[in-house]
Structure 1
Amino acid sequence: MTTSPPTSPAHPTAEHTPPDGRPGQSKFRTLLGAGVGNTLEWYDWSVYAIFAPFFAAQFFVSDNPTSALLSTLAIFAAGFLMRPIGGFFFGWLADRHGRRFALTTSMMTMAAGSLLIGIAPTHDVIGVWAGLVLLVARLIQGLAHGGEIAASYTYIAEIAPRAKRGLWSTSVYVSVTAGIVLASLIGAGASSTIGPDALRDWAWRVPFLIGGLLAVAGLYIRRTMHETEAFENERSTGEHATTGDLVRGLRRNKTSIARILGMSAGVTVVYYTWAVGIPGFAIANRGLDPTHGLWASVIANVFFMISLPLWGKLSDKVGRKPIFITYGVAMLVLTFPLMALVGDSAVVLTLVMMVALFFLGAFVGIMPAYFAELFPTDVRASGVGVPYSLMVAIFGGTAPYVLTWLNSHHMSWLFSAYMVGLVAVGLLTTLLTPETKGIDLR
């Protein structure tokens, strides 16, 4: 195992362009292999939040629909508790056995959890055990999702040409958003054709079953991917990382881990609020028509996908920090007015989501590149996966629940304050973090 560099990122060295994939593998095929799996995993992960208002009453019987939804969102949050474990396990797997192996394994694990939800018996069939089955399935998905982050961020950053690493890293959240859009499209299409009542009765199962079956295609594509040059060079030393080596390596890079912790808390709340949870919140708490809400999510997220490469390309020119600062300042200024505008109008919701997601893209688009640039090869996947998954578990996974609970107590303004406070912490961390654009990952 190679010796880890200093905690702070290495200084940029002379430009060289590494191979864009291995012989016989094009840039497109390389990105496709990573992207398809990302799309499928995030489809499986996000479809739960999107369809929660429809299937909540199937698993939790209550005279109060809000109570049933809160129970379902609590399980949504519980799934995030497994993500730090998944980040550590699959991060170790990626640092020990390769990025490709970890990517393939995490995708199949996610598909298993999705299929379990799709066939899960309801409360009418097995009573309170239905909620337990749903919880187990969500925990399986959480484990897989923590692994996907660790491996995919690292894989894309390591295969990208150094001068275009910011641009290439946006492909992660382009594919992530494609999964959310796919889930929303299925929901909107089903709601438009068969109606919300059918979705509540039985059709909510369909998107989960589709996600599990599509994993077969994703498995084929990911199995044909080549390993990254950085990992192959690390493995060529003939030394292999043990669990103890991994823990010691993470300890040596504790400053980089602290930076990820500080920057991630706010952005995870912002992301899971605006990219995933806000349509369901508007449907359940603001009287928004379900079909219109799902279409609003589709339109806003498609816009989000289109805007991401712009931020990535700009970060390759001006650096990562100015782009991160732009996001932080924008969210400090806009959070309260944007949240106040969420109501029963799909048009307003679409516009509000587009504004929020545009500035969110300034952070998440280049986040995979920046986080990977903070760590040496031997602990890169674990260094990225563990702290980020921990922050997502604590802050991101609980965001829809906290928003819904505060709103039920007529304190939705407090959620906006909570989000602003966490964004401020991230902005301060950014100001104290060195620039990493152009460093050599190899």
Structure 2
Amino acid sequence: MSTIINSQLSTRAATRKTLLGTGIGNAVEWYDWAIYATFTPFIASQLFSKADPASAVLATLAIFAVGFVARPVGGFLFGWIGDRVGRKTSMTLAVGLASLGSLMIGVAPSFATVGVWASLTLLLARLIQGLAHGGELPSSQTYLSEVAPKERRGLWATLIYTSGTVGILAGTLLGAILNMTLSAEAMNAWGWRVPFLVGAVMGLYALIMRSRLHETEAFEGETASEKRAPIWPQIVKHRKQALQVVGLTVGLTVIYYIWGVVAPSYAATVLKIDRGETLWASVIANIVFIAALPVWGKLSDRIGRKKVLWAGAVGSAVMHFPMTWLLKDSAWQLAVSMSVMLIFIAASAAIVPAVYAELFPTSIRTIGVGVPYSICVAVFGGTAPYLQTWLGTIGLSNVFNIYAVALLIVSALFVFTIPETKGKDLTH
């Protein structure tokens, strides 16, 4: 009896270590993007010339976009490492590189001290982070999918967006606390650096945790010849699956951008709702999102991936315009509209990490997901802010909304092209 109990305790400890090591690294990635967006005005004033504040902000946002451009390169680089050297190695290197980028921003000299070198330091740091973030998701979700029990893989996959959302909430709340407790002078002088230094420390901790994880059985079960097989022929062979990753992602990345990222800022700047109230409305909605993720994950393990994906895409498309019309002039409207949309968005977000992994064989699983996913996020997610702003300024906001719904319909149609993969054995 004691042997059985000890075995169960050992299994639970290993599970906790796996979930923590995978989750905290993913949280660091999302945290990095959240704090950069939150502290853009301070970065612009400290790392660019103060002669033209508007140009400084635009330059800071342009460097933010550079991270999206670097993601596909990171997806290929870390995907190759994951499929040839190991999932664990790829995950560990990715989070270590992301931590280095955060540290560089946190200690970057000001423009007043070194001139344009301050701006170049920021650019280099964001390139490093973009590479790391392009490799983080495919590496971590492949690792998580391969170590998860196949009958519970849908539930385990929810860790990706759960930990990511926790990272966003942590960055947002830290920003709010610093703004409340520090003076404007202190924030400009050193306060804005604190979140980046915290991110560097979190990344270092994640690196240590991941270095202690075991490699997946699926990867270790491959022969030496399979691990040395040329990548490009396999990419060409599985081009259909790569296209399916893009098709399943286009709707999710844009609709999540609208409701999970931009809605609070839109409510504060355009609808003139109090910024503090929009922050708490966003916190409430993201807590609802986190709660919805495991529900959809468990459901996919019961009824299948395709039904859940279809429900998420169609539900988001159907509810997008009603929730847009609901959001007018109060924080409760923002909380309700965000929560409703994030419940449906959670259906896809919960299980796509598992679905992506289940589409590819072991020998190309990381890079097969990483490259098409990163390209899709860069092309559609990266351009969404510009399109939404530009169409809004010329009075065509509804055109962007129609565009978002059209992409959701595309994702819904792509669901019919994939096989049902619930319970698939990933060791073959």
TM-score in same-fold range (> 0.5): yes
Larger CA deviation: 250-259 vs 43-52:
43-52
Counterparts of residues 222-241 of structure 1 (less than 5 Å): 222-234=210-222, 237-239=223-225, 241=227
Counterparts of residues 39-78 of structure 1 (less than 5 Å): 39-52=27-40, 55-59=43-47, 69-78=57-66
Larger CA deviation: 247-256 vs 376-385:
247-256
Which of 358, 382, 395 is residue 397 of structure 1 equivalent to?
382
Which of 399, 403, 428 is residue 414 of structure 1 equivalent to?
399
Which of 360, 363, 366 is residue 381 of structure 1 equivalent to?
366
Q: Supply the distance in 2 between the matched residues of 1:337 and 1:72 (Cα, whole angstroms).
A: 34
Identical positions, percent: 47
Equivalence for 2:339: 354
1:87 touches 1:147 (CA, 8 Å); kept in 2?
Answer: yes
Offset at residue 166 of structure 1 (A): 0.5
Question: What are the superposed Cα offsets for residues 333-371 of structure 1, whole Å, 9 maximum, x if unpaired?
Answer: 222333345556333222222112111110010001100
Which of 104, 118, 135 is residue 106 of structure 2 equivalent to?
118
Q: Supply the distance in 2 between the matched residues of 1:116 and 1:131 (Cα, whole angstroms).
A: 12
Distance 1:164 1:196, change over 3 A: farther
Larger CA deviation: 74-83 vs 160-169:
74-83
1:247 and 2:232 correspond:
yes
Equivalence for 1:269: 254
Question: What are the superposed Cα offsets for residues 237-256 of structure 1, whole Å, 9 maximum, x if unpaired?
Answer: 232534x7111111111111
Q: Supply the distance in 2 between the matched residues of 1:344 and 1:60 (Cα, whole angstroms).
A: 35
Offset at residue 439 of structure 1 (A): 1.5
Counterparts of residues 186-225 of structure 1 (less than 5 Å): 186-194=174-182, 199=187, 202-225=190-213
1:320 touches 1:366 (CA, 8 Å); kept in 2?
Answer: yes
Q: Show structure 1 runs of 5+ residues with no match.
A: 1-18
Which of 402, 421, 424 is residue 436 of structure 1 equivalent to?
421
Normalised to the residue count of structure 2, the TM-score between the two structures is 0.90
Offset at residue 56 of structure 1 (A): 4.2
Distance 1:146 1:226, change over 3 A: same
1:312 touches 1:366 (CA, 8 Å); kept in 2?
Answer: yes
2:75 touches 2:134 (CA, 8 Å); kept in 1?
Answer: yes
Offset at residue 71 of structure 1 (A): 4.1
Question: What are the superposed Cα offsets for residues 177-216 of structure 1, whole Å, 9 maximum, x if unpaired?
Answer: 1111111121222233336786466422211111012222
Q: Supply the distance in 2 between the matched residues of 1:162 and 1:77 (Cα, whole angstroms).
A: 37
Q: Supply the distance in 1 between the matched residues of 2:10 and 2:367 (Cα, whole angstroms).
A: 24
Normalised to the residue count of structure 1, the TM-score between the two structures is 0.87
Q: Supply the distance in 2 between the matched residues of 1:54 and 1:342 (Cα, whole angstroms).
A: 30
Question: What are the superposed Cα offsets for residues 69-92 of structure 1, whole Å, 9 maximum, x if unpaired?
Answer: 554333222211111111110011
Offset at residue 118 of structure 1 (A): 1.9
Q: Supply the distance in 2 between the matched residues of 1:435 and 1:180 (Cα, whole angstroms).
A: 32
2:61 maps to amino acid: L
1:159 and 2:144 correspond:
no
2:225 maps to amino acid: E
| Paired positions, count | 421
Q: Which has the higher helix share?
A: 2
